[in-house]
Structure 1
Amino acid sequence: MTPANTTPEWQALEAHAASMRGRHLRDLFANDPQRAVSFSRTSGLNLLLDFSRQRVDAETMRLLLALANARDLRGRIDAMFSGEKINTTENRAVLHTALRNRTERPVLVDGQDVMPEVRASLQKMRTFVEGIHGGRIHGHTGKTFTDIVNIGIGGSDLGIVMATEALAKYRNRNLRLHCVSNIDGVQLGDVLEKVDAARTLFVVCSKTFSTLETLTNAKLARQWIVDRLGEGAPARHFAAVSTNAKAMDAFLIPPQNRFTMWDWVGGRYSVWSAVGLSVALALGMDQFELMLEGGHEMDEHFRTTPFENNLPVLMGLLGVWNRNFLGLDSLAVLPYDQRLHRFPAYLQQLEMESNGKSVTLAGTPLQYDSGAVLWGEPGSNAQHSFFQLLHQGTARVALDFLAPVNASSPFQQQQNLALANCFAQAQAFAFGQTEAQVRQDLAAKGTGESEIARLIPHKLHPGNRPSTVILFPRLGPKTLGRLISLYEHKVFTQSVIWGINAFDQWGVELGKKLAESLAPALEKPGEAAAGAEPSLRNLLEHVARWRG
């Protein structure tokens, strides 16, 4: 595929952007009374995508859709769903969509239908979860489990934390879930202080069972169980999600406590698989499968809906427009529901690990920018911290607002206030505050003319900050599944436009490799410092000096 910026469609967008950069959202709305309706879409899935506050017009959207067609987005979507090996650097299919396929449609990889394995894995998860909840599966001493400790990192942690926080109201009240990811031992130490060994189940999530952080924490947890319950106890107190049977043998994890993964599922797309076992344990298998259903519904929407009404496609194209044609290199995700407080962190990995690339599928350097920096916080907190920079600072950031209409708490009146804040901020970012408005407000308060003149520069809000509002009736398992799938397909759409591989992550591997080689040096930093190369010597000397 030729570089995107050499196509006539890209060049038409560049010419169009030159005229759009000078246009303000105030004028776009003033010139089109129906703009809010014209630039909104619903999916039939109880999601409203309102992108009327994006700095686009009808011609922008026409040109973006033309670019999507020129980049063969439809063909790439079909290739992904059909099991083609679109992860070219690892020669793998990309089939997280198969994990939530609720139809009888086969999904082929190398000519073999993977759906029987997927269904068998889900059934094994259900048997295990219901066994834990019913007390049939219990600990070494015969006591039932009260605590689940998930040990994983990256895709084996972020999705689990995000989903169980988002769906906390659905949790099984007889089980507490704890998640351990960091290698520094703090999380593990804190958890082990709270739990009873006889009533604790550890779930180790690691595709290879060799990830340094996960393996280190798992070994410490295993020894903790052995010290308290005996050598044979880990067989009843550990489950694992991995492809490494030999490593699970060494850990004494019995077959009935092992859950499979496949090489056609990337870590950041794996919460739909047995990696979501801890989600299912926390919520119940019925709720977990409702989340799968929501994801599948968005898959079908993405796979079959014309691009002009296709929510993930439109979000992806708007992201390309903001990144490549308006020069916005950052996206803030702002949920107005505390239950979604870990959703931005989940999306950080999804977007930045997927599209943080600087070469094309062919390995040639990109001639244009790719993925934006994604970050965010729940909206109410964000308003009182970093919104100042977004409103009046020099940074240029696009924004996604997410909000349920109905409260996730018992207090609908408070959610009404959250929605009022969400809508108000979207308006303020779009329209700002003009000199005339500042002058009028101050004069109404009786402020003198000289003071008005002094304050005007400080109270001006430029506005014209682009945002999208994603509104839905309420947050539940199906809605969460739809939201995750929505952003997954948005990321894929952008990768197709840019001509990059969204499904490898070689940038993660170098740091891992170096850390493994440096680990022995930290055991004896004084000795290691003498032979270390200059950039490390000073650090190792200070470690040796300060180690108490």
Structure 2
Amino acid sequence: MSFPDFNGSDAQVQWQRFCDLIWYHDDLGIWLDVSRMHVNTSHLEALQPGFEKAFAAMQDLESGSVANADEQRQVGHYWLRAPQLAPSEPVREHISQEVDRIEQFGKDLIGGRIRTPSGEAFTDVLWIGIGGSGLGPKLMIEALQNSGQGLPFHFFDNVDPNGMSTVLAQLGETLKTTLVVTVSKSGGTPEPHLGMEQARHRLEANGGQWAGQAVAVTMLDSKLDQQAQREGWLDRFDMFDWVGGRTSITSAVGLLPGALIGSDIRSFLAGAAQMDEATRVTDLRRNPAALMAASWFLAGEGKGRRDMVVLPYRDRLEVFSRYLQQLVMESLGKRLDRDGNTVNQGIAVYGNKGSTDQHAYVQQLRDGVDNFFATFIEVLQDAGDIPVIQSERPGDFLDGFLQGTRSALTEGGRQSISISMRRFDARRLGALIGLFERAVGLYGELININAYHQPGVEAGKKAAAAVLDLQSRVEAVLNDGASRSVSEIRQALGDGTDESVFWIMRHLTGNERGYSAVGDWSSPATMRFSKG
């Protein structure tokens, strides 16, 4: 299918396509435009039966069916913004109570009613979380925090010791007045545990009192929850068993940072609930998430053969492409379908923000390999405190760059989706997240994969644990002080490979841990290693 000539004799045809393939929500003030994707009404009619099954599956999920069969778990992130949909009264009450507690905690801490053990007001937040437990909070902070509003945030979202060192140095003496939030659903994930121990060590070394400054976001009765109870931490918030990390932003994972920057978390939840309602419509052409999922499906021939390039034209949404990487790629990137067939599905996501980054890669998008579709996101309302100088308005240029880039891609036969918002605030952020969450769910059903488990992630965790075990045994072999080659170390171990041993030795000798190396690093077989 080819595009009409938008500026020539087919302009009226394109206008009709635009009218047929645009969706608008009057109260939210949000448009979705898929008219520049290779999709038409006949395609949508052909896909309607497949979507009927997808709509039914989503209804079962929201009703409480076990959607994550690997872990025998329900998938209930939609209940977080509409507790009345939860399958039992205790769950409904628990959700509502947690939102109340989070909102009050934020108000009391910002207002100075909750203080450090030494009686000082809290000045900063150190947030410790990995994956969705870091990306969701970062999105909330970048998108919603206004200057001078709430507390400044710092993040441990990796186990990079250099990154930790930088953050701790930035905090310095203010660690004594820093709230430390550790997020770990199971309570046993290595990355947040390591970050927590480093933060605790430095905080106490600087005269802080951990228990009075620490908050846990975890499942009830997890290892972390038990520790927080035992030590009398400042507070604990539930990360429900039925919420996955990549869909946890409307739980305490996203709401607590929202409350600590003084954002309107009720409005955030209301926006997500409004979009949830709009995306339950079973008419494909009247459901924005279904329109988006159908466009993804047709663009990639149902095989994920095109990448998703996310281009939000607002600084506040710079983190959004990274957030979508996890939501989309962890959900859809699966080797097996529900029937056990090898399908190797997925949609790769990348991007940053316009107009800055259109200078970085639009050249290839316009003229290079045609293996993507773009997703433009715009906000119509500009900040009111930026004046007109010499008849120039920055917002006009930003809009011009967006429309110009969109047109340039179309002229090159490249596909794009556009999402436009009259204004941007907590409610629209909630709606935007709800739109993509539902599109991912529907697309997963359309291609017959389970969007709610993550066997590849679990495999990576097991492989990392195996490497750490191998390293401990390598160190034990070298404890006698003898000099050994890579092959000799591997033979002493009785397993592993020469390459895996070489990688471990390169790491050990790169730090001041008492290991030395002799030989030519460019010829690993010549190297000899020892301790002491």
TM-score, normalisation: structure 1: 0.83
Comparing 381-390 with 314-323, greater Cα deviation is found at: 381-390
Partner of 2:430: 481
- Quickly say closer, same or farther: Cα 1:255–1:82, change in 2 above 3 A: farther
**Whole-angstrom CA distance in 2 between matches of 1:325 and 1:503:** 19
**Whole-angstrom CA distance in 2 between matches of 1:476 and 1:262:** 26
Question: Which of 157, 164, 173 is matched with 1:181 structurally?
Answer: 157
Question: Which of 194, 209, 219 is matched with 2:197 structurally?
Answer: 219
* Matched residue SS, 1:471: strand
| 1:393-412 matched pairs, under 5 angstroms | 393-408=368-383, 410-411=385-386
**Whole-angstrom CA distance in 1 between matches of 2:249 and 2:427:** 14
Partner of 1:501: 450
Partner of 1:371: 346
**Whole-angstrom CA distance in 1 between matches of 2:384 and 2:197:** 39
1:47 aligns with 2:22: no
Partner of 2:16: 34
Letter in 1 for 2:76: L
Letter in 2 for 1:377: N
- Quickly say closer, same or farther: Cα 1:60–1:247, change in 2 above 3 A: closer
Partner of 2:521: none
Partner of 1:440: none
- Quickly say closer, same or farther: Cα 1:542–1:311, change in 2 above 3 A: same
| 1:135-154 matched pairs, under 5 angstroms | 135-154=112-131
* Matched residue SS, 1:62: helix
* Matched residue SS, 2:279: helix
Contact kept? 1:408, 1:474, Cα under 8 Å: no
Letter in 2 for 1:173: Q
- Quickly say closer, same or farther: Cα 1:340–1:279, change in 2 above 3 A: same
Contact kept? 2:55, 2:442, Cα under 8 Å: no
Contact kept? 1:238, 1:253, Cα under 8 Å: no
Comparing 160-169 with 186-195, greater Cα deviation is found at: 186-195
1:107 aligns with 2:89: no
Partner of 1:12: none
1:24 aligns with 2:29: no
Letter in 1 for 2:497: E
* Matched residue SS, 1:182: coil
* Matched residue SS, 1:486: helix
**Whole-angstrom CA distance in 2 between matches of 1:410 and 1:346:** 29
Comparing 150-159 with 48-57, greater Cα deviation is found at: 48-57
Shift of 1:155: 0.9
TM-score, normalisation: structure 2: 0.86
**Whole-angstrom CA distance in 1 between matches of 2:508 and 2:336:** 41
Shift of 1:32: 4.6
**Whole-angstrom CA distance in 2 between matches of 1:56 and 1:246:** 50
**Whole-angstrom CA distance in 2 between matches of 1:514 and 1:303:** 40
Structure 1 residues 379-417: Cα deviation after superposition (integer angstroms, max 9, x where no partner): 212211111111111242101000000125733721221
Shift of 1:219: 0.7
- Quickly say closer, same or farther: Cα 1:256–1:305, change in 2 above 3 A: farther
Partner of 2:285: 308
Question: Which of 499, 520, 526 is matched with 1:535 structurally?
Answer: 499
* Matched residue SS, 1:313: helix
**Whole-angstrom CA distance in 2 between matches of 1:543 and 1:89:** 35
Letter in 2 for 1:539: W
**Whole-angstrom CA distance in 1 between matches of 2:101 and 2:471:** 42
Contact kept? 1:525, 1:543, Cα under 8 Å: no
Contact kept? 2:312, 2:353, Cα under 8 Å: yes
Partner of 2:356: 381
1:355 aligns with 2:336: no
Letter in 2 for 1:126: E
Letter in 2 for 1:475: F
Letter in 2 for 1:427: S
- Quickly say closer, same or farther: Cα 1:517–1:112, change in 2 above 3 A: farther
Question: Which of 177, 180, 183 is matched with 1:202 structurally?
Answer: 180
| 1:71-150 matched pairs, under 5 angstroms | 72-101=53-82, 105-108=84-87, 113-150=90-127
* Matched residue SS, 1:468: strand
Query: Structure 2 unaligned runs (5+)?
Result: 388-392, 479-485, 513-532
Letter in 1 for 2:368: G
Structure 1 residues 475-501: Cα deviation after superposition (integer angstroms, max 9, x where no partner): 100000000110000000100101111
Alignment length (residue pairs): 484
Shift of 1:174: 5.0
Shift of 1:61: 2.2
Partner of 1:342: 319
Contact kept? 1:344, 1:375, Cα under 8 Å: yes
Partner of 1:168: 145
Contact kept? 1:242, 1:260, Cα under 8 Å: yes
Shift of 1:536: 0.3
Contact kept? 1:204, 1:239, Cα under 8 Å: yes
Contact kept? 1:339, 1:408, Cα under 8 Å: no
Shift of 1:471: 0.6
Q: Aligned-residue CA RMSD in angstroms? A: 2.3
Letter in 1 for 2:238: T
**Whole-angstrom CA distance in 2 between matches of 1:160 and 1:382:** 23
Partner of 2:525: none
**Whole-angstrom CA distance in 2 between matches of 1:245 and 1:209:** 5
Partner of 2:258: 280
Letter in 2 for 1:515: A
Shift of 1:241: 0.5
Letter in 1 for 2:21: F
Letter in 2 for 1:188: M
- Quickly say closer, same or farther: Cα 1:160–1:475, change in 2 above 3 A: same
Contact kept? 2:102, 2:256, Cα under 8 Å: no
Shift of 1:522: 4.8
Letter in 2 for 1:390: L
Partner of 1:56: 39
* Matched residue SS, 2:56: helix
Shift of 1:377: 1.1
Shift of 1:518: 2.4
Structure 1 residues 34-72: Cα deviation after superposition (integer angstroms, max 9, x where no partner): 222222111233111111111222212222224323xx1
Shift of 1:545: 4.1
Shift of 1:523: 6.4
Where relative contact order (Cα < 8 A, 6+ residues apart) is larger, the structure is 1
* Matched residue SS, 1:42: strand
**Whole-angstrom CA distance in 1 between matches of 2:64 and 2:309:** 33
